[in-house]
Structure 1
Amino acid sequence: MSPETILYIVLAGVVSIALAVFMYGYRSKQTGSLRWVFGILRFITLFSILLLIINPKFKSETYTIEKPKLPVLIDNSASIGELGQKENVSAFLQKLKENNELNDKFDVSYYSFGNDFRESDSLSFDEKNTNISKALTSANELFKNQTAPTIVITDGNQTLGNDYEFSSATFKNPIYPVILGDSIQYTDLKIEQLNTNRYAFLKNQFPVEVILTYSGTSPVNSEFAVAQGAATVYRTNVSFSENETSKTLNFTLNASSVGLQKYSAQILPLADEKNKTNNSKQFAVEVIDQATNVLVVSKITHPDLGALKKAITSNERRTVTFKKPAEAVSVLNDFQLVILYQPDRSFASVFAEIEKLNKNTWTISGLQTDWYFLNGAQDNFNKEASNASEDIQAELNGNYGTFAVENIGFDNFPPLHTEFGALTISVPNEVMLAQTVSGIDNGNPLLATTEINGKRDAIWDGEGFWRWRARSFLETESFQSFDDFIGNLVQYLASNKRRSRLEVSSETFYYNNNPIKISAQYFDKNYVFDNRASLNISVKNTETEKQTVFPMLLRNNYYEVDLNSLPAGEYNYTVSVSNEAVSSSGKFTILDFNVEQQFLNADVPKLRRIAQNTNGKAFFATHGDLLINALVENTNYQNIERSEQKVVPLVDWKYLLALIVLALAAEWFIRKYNGLI
Structure 2
Amino acid sequence: MQTETILYIILAGIIALSLALFQYMYKTKKRKRVDFLLVFLRFITLFSVFLLLINPKFDSTTYFNEKPNLLIAVDNSESVKYLDQDQKTRELVVLLQQNKALNERFDIAFFSFGKTINSLDNLSFDEKQTNPTVVFDQFSQVYGNAIAPLILISDGNQTYGNDYEFAAQNYKQAVYPVILGDTTQYTDLKIEQLNVNKYAYLKNKFPVEIIAVYNGSEEVSTQLTVSSGNTIVYSENLTFNHEQSSRLVNMSLPANSPGVHSYKAELKPLSNEKNTVNNIKNFAVEVIDRKTHVAIISDIMHPDLGALKKAIESNEQRQASIIKPSDFTNLSDDFQQVIIYQPNQNFKEVYSEIELLNLNTFTILGTQTNWLEFNKLQPYMQQTVTNQYEDFQPSLNSNYSVFIIDDLNFSDFPPLQTEFGATTFSLPIETILYKTVSGIQLKEPLLYTYEVDQKRAAVLNGEGVWRWRAQSYLDEQSFHDFDNFIGKIVQYLDSGQQRSRLNISYESFYNGTDNVILTAQFFNKTYEFDDTANLEITVKNKENEQSQTVPFILKQTNFQVDLSGLEAGDYEFTVKTQHENISQSGEFKILEYNVEQQFLNANVSKLQNLANQNQGVSYFIDDIDALVPQLLNDERFVTIQKSIKKVVPLLDWKFLLAFIALSLSAEWFIRKYNGLI
Q: TM-score, normalised by structure 2?
A: 0.91
For the residue of structure 1 that corresponds to 2:176, the secondary structure is strand
User: What code does the residue aligned with 2:273 have?
Assistant: E
Distance 1:166 1:94 in 2: 30
The Cα shift of 1:49 comes to 5.3
Q: Determine helix, strand or coil for the equivalent of 2:408.
A: coil
Check conservation: 1:175, 1:611, Cα contact below 8 A. Answer: yes
SS in 2 for 1:130: coil
CA RMSD after TM alignment: 3.1
> Residue type of the partner of 1:457?
A
- What's the offset of the Cα at 1:474? 3.2
1:456 corresponds in structure 2 to 456
Whole-angstrom distance in 1 between the partners of 2:427 and 2:44: 74
Aligned residue identity for 1:484: N
Structure 1 residue 299: deviation in Å? Answer: 1.1
Specify the code of the residue in structure 1 equivalent to 2:537. I
C-alpha deviation, 1:208, in angstroms: 1.0
Cα deviation, 1:127-163, whole Å, max 9, x if unaligned, reads: 1111112222222332111111111111111111122
Distance 1:454 1:243, change over 3 A: same
Q: Which residue of 2 aligns with 1:547?
A: 547
User: Counterpart amino acid of 2:518?
Assistant: I
CA distance 1:33–1:169, shift in 2 (3 Å): same
Structure 1 counterpart of 2:564: 564
Distance in 1 (CA, whole Å) between partners of 2:355 and 2:179 is 67
Q: Deviations over 1:432-453 (max 9, x none)?
A: 3344445444665432333456
Verify the 8 A CA contact 1:92 1:624 in the aligned structure 2. no
CA distance in 1, matches of 2:637, 2:60: 29
Q: Secondary structure at the match of 2:141?
A: helix
Deviation of the 1:671 alpha carbon: 10
Range with bigger deviation, 446-455 or 248-257? 446-455
Report how far residue 508 of structure 1 moved.
1.5
Provide the rounded CA distance (Å) in 2 between the counterparts of 1:422 and 1:568. 54
The secondary structure found in structure 2 opposite 1:625 is coil
Moved more, 409-418 or 205-214: 409-418
1:158 matched to which residue of 2?
158
Contact 2:407 2:557 in 1 (8 A): no
Distance 1:9 1:584, change over 3 A: same
Report matched runs for 1:120-269 at 5 Å: 120-269=120-269
Q: 1:638 to 1:346 in 2, by over 3 A?
A: same
**2:643 aligned partner:** 643
CA contact (8 A) 1:55 1:649 kept: yes
1:378 aligned partner: 378
Following the alignment from structure 1 to structure 2, what is the Cα–Cα distance between the partners of residues 110 and 219?
47
Instruction: In structure 1, give the amino acid aligned to 2:159.
Output: T
**Structure 1 CA distance for aligned equivalents of residues 61 and 84 of structure 2:** 53
Alignment of 1:589-600 (within 5 A): 589-600=589-600
What's the counterpart of residue 108 of structure 1?
108
Distance in 2 between residues matched to 1:434 and 1:13, nearest whole Å: 69
User: Conserved in 1, the CA contact under 8 Å of 2:472 and 2:478?
Assistant: yes
How do 1:127-526 residues align onto structure 2 when only pairs under 5 Å count?
127-329=127-329, 331-332=331-332, 335-355=335-355, 359-422=359-422, 427-441=427-441, 444-451=444-451, 455-526=455-526
Q: How many residues align?
A: 675
Higher mean C-alpha deviation, range 460-469 or range 667-676: 667-676
Q: Residues 131 and 22 of structure 1: is their aligned pair in 2 closer, same or farther, counting only changes over 3 Å?
A: same
Which segment is superposed worse, 3-12 or 452-461?
452-461
Given the two structures, how large is their TM-score scaled by the length of structure 1?
A: 0.91
Q: Which residue of 1 aligns with 2:3?
A: 3
- Using the TM superposition, give the Cα deviation of residue 397 of structure 1 relative to its aligned residue in structure 2, in angstroms: 3.6
Q: 1:233 to 1:379 in 2, by over 3 A?
A: same
Q: Who is 1:618 aligned against?
A: 618
Does the CA contact (< 8 Å) of 1:381 and 1:423 recur in 2?
yes
User: Any conservation in 2 of the 1:78–1:126 contact (CA below 8 Å)?
Assistant: yes
Q: Aligned letter for 1:634? A: D
Decide which moves more: 591-600 or 329-338: 329-338
CA contact (8 A) 1:399 1:556 kept: no
Shift of 1:670: 10
C-alpha contact 1:69 1:107 (8 A) present in aligned 2: yes
Q: Is the 8 A contact 2:180 2:602 kept in 1?
A: yes
Aligned partners of 1:131 and 1:158 also within 8 Å: yes
Instruction: Report the counterpart of residue 66 of structure 1 in structure 2.
Output: 66
Q: Which shows bigger deviation, 658-667 or 99-108?
A: 658-667
Q: Deviations over 1:327-362 (max 9, x none)?
A: 224555654432221222222333344455554332
8 Å CA contact retained: 1:199, 1:316: yes
SS in structure 2 at match of 1:186:
coil
Aligned equivalents of 1:131, 1:590: Cα separation in 2: 22
Q: CA offset at residue 253 of structure 1?
A: 0.9
1:674 & 1:383 partners in 2: Cα distance? 94
SS at match of 1:176: strand
Change over 3 Å in CA distance of 1:323–1:548 after alignment to 2: same
In structure 2, list runs of 5 or more residues that go unmatched. none
Assess, with a 3 A threshold, how the Cα gap between structure 1 residues 214 and 35 changes in structure 2: closer, same or farther.
farther
Shift in CA distance, 361/273, structure 1 to aligned 2, threshold 3 Å: same
Moved more, 83-92 or 621-630: 621-630
Structure 1 residues 382 and 642: CA distance shift in structure 2, 3 A: farther
Partner Cα distance (2:641, 2:289) in 1: 72
* CA distance in structure 2 between the partners assigned to 1:494 and 1:670 by the alignment: 99
Shift of 1:69: 1.0
Residues 232-270 of structure 1 show CA distances to partners (whole Å, capped at 9, x for unaligned) of 211222222222222222221110111111111011111
CA distance in 2, matches of 1:487, 1:529: 22
SS at match of 2:625: helix
Contact 2:401 2:501 in 1 (8 A): no
Judge conservation of contact 1:611–1:617 (CA < 8 Å) in 2. Answer: yes
Q: Report SS of the residue matched to 2:623.
A: helix
Provide the rounded CA distance (Å) in 2 between the counterparts of 1:284 and 1:343: 42
Consecutive unaligned residues of structure 1, counting only runs of 5 or more, are none
Give deviations 1:528-552, integer Å, cap 9, x for gaps.
2211010000111111111111111
Asked if the contact 1:262/1:283 (under 8 Å) is kept, the reply is yes
1:494 corresponds to which letter in structure 2?
Answer: D
Deviations 1:262-309 (A, max 9, x none): 111011111111000100111111111113332211111222111111
Q: 1:622 is paired with a residue of what secondary structure?
A: coil
Instruction: Identify which range, 477-486 or 418-427, moves more after superposition.
Output: 418-427
Could you tell me how far apart the structure 2 residues matched to 1:658 and 1:446 are?
A: 65
Quote the offset at 1:366 in angstroms. Answer: 2.5
How far has the Cα of 1:634 moved from its partner? 1.5
Report how far residue 41 of structure 1 moved: 7.3
Q: Which amino acid aligns with 1:644?
A: I
The residue type equivalent to 1:79 in the other structure is S
Deviation at 1:672, TM superposition (A): 11
Give the CA deviation at 1:371.
2.6
In structure 1, C-alpha distance between the alignment counterparts of 2:356 and 2:666, rounded to whole Å: 92
Instruction: Confirm whether residue 630 of structure 1 aligns to residue 630 of structure 2.
Output: yes
Moved more, 224-233 or 326-335: 326-335
The residue matched to 2:232 in structure 1 has which SS? strand
Query: Can you list the C-alpha shifts for 1:468-526, whole angstroms capped at 9, x where unaligned?
Result: 32232233222212212222232223323211121112222111211101111111122
Q: Choose 584-593 or 363-372, whichever is displaced more.
A: 363-372
